[in-house]
Amino acid sequence: MTRIGVLALQGDFFEHIKILRSLDVDALEIRLPAQLDSIDGLIIPGGESTTIVQLIDIYKFREKLIKTITEGLPTWGTCAGLIVLAKKLMDHRPDPLKLMDITVQRNAFGRQVDSFESNIDITGVEGPPFNCIFIRAPIVTQVGKNTEILAKVNNNRAVAVKEKNILGTSFHPELTKDTRVHELFLNMTQ
């Protein structure tokens, strides 16, 4: 059985756990760095990226996360999780893990449209467009030459990206009943 860990320091980790369990995956809340050795894939959930990064450093996760993910652990960041994985932010906070060759702009859709939904085609997701939920969402403003853009929203803004073993989405598939993006990630762990 595939074992997926969800970083459970802050944010909506339990929504991911519920979807994973509905797909018959052994889903585990990750609260200690050593637990990263026992999983086939990792999800860094949405929440508040400054808080998540602060807790990553307080609980001494940074070095272990960088090592394990660089060595190939399939990893998916949703929203704040995408910010945490980025190489560069347009903000001066937080200090991200710099694992994915992307530049990210936090809260990119402005205050008045902090949250919205949009049906978007995602490369690798079969069937009808995916209902993407954006909550104070970031966008990817620049990608490196090895980063693939899987989805874009209005004005060509990248909202789903993939680079080797890392997937990033600026929206929240865990807040829908549609399991297709989780399945896309599970395929990366096979």
- CB-nearer residue toward ligand GLN: 20 or 108: 108
| Entry field: residues in the chain | 190
Applying CB under 6 A, the span of 1-9, 79-87, 116-124, 180-188 interacting with ligand GLN comes to 79-87
Q: Parallel, antiparallel, or unpaired for β 139-143 and 100-105?
A: antiparallel
Applying CB under 6 A, the span of 34-42, 76-84, 152-160, 178-186 interacting with ligand GLN comes to 76-84
List the one residue from 36, 79, 97, 186 that touches ligand GLN (CB under 6 A). Answer: 79
- CB-nearer residue toward ligand GLN: 2 or 14: 14
Separation of CA 17 from chain center: 14
Q: Identify the active-site residue in 15, 132, 163, 174.
A: 174
Please report the DSSP string for 119-132 in residue order: EE--TT--SSPEEE
Q: Identify the active-site residue in 16, 132, 163, 172.
A: 172
CB-facing half-sphere around the CA of 174: CA atoms within 13 A: 26
List the one residue from 25, 83, 100, 132 that touches ligand GLN (CB under 6 A). Answer: 83
107 near ligand GLN, rule: CB under 6 A: yes
The answer to whether the beta carbons of residues 159 and 171 sit under 8 Å apart is yes
Q: Print burial letters for 68-78: b (CB count within 10 Å at least 16), e (below 16).
A: bbeeebbbbbb
Supply the residues annotated as catalytic: 79, 172, 174
Residue ranges binding ligand GLN (CB under 6 A): 46-49, 79-80, 83, 106-107, 135-136
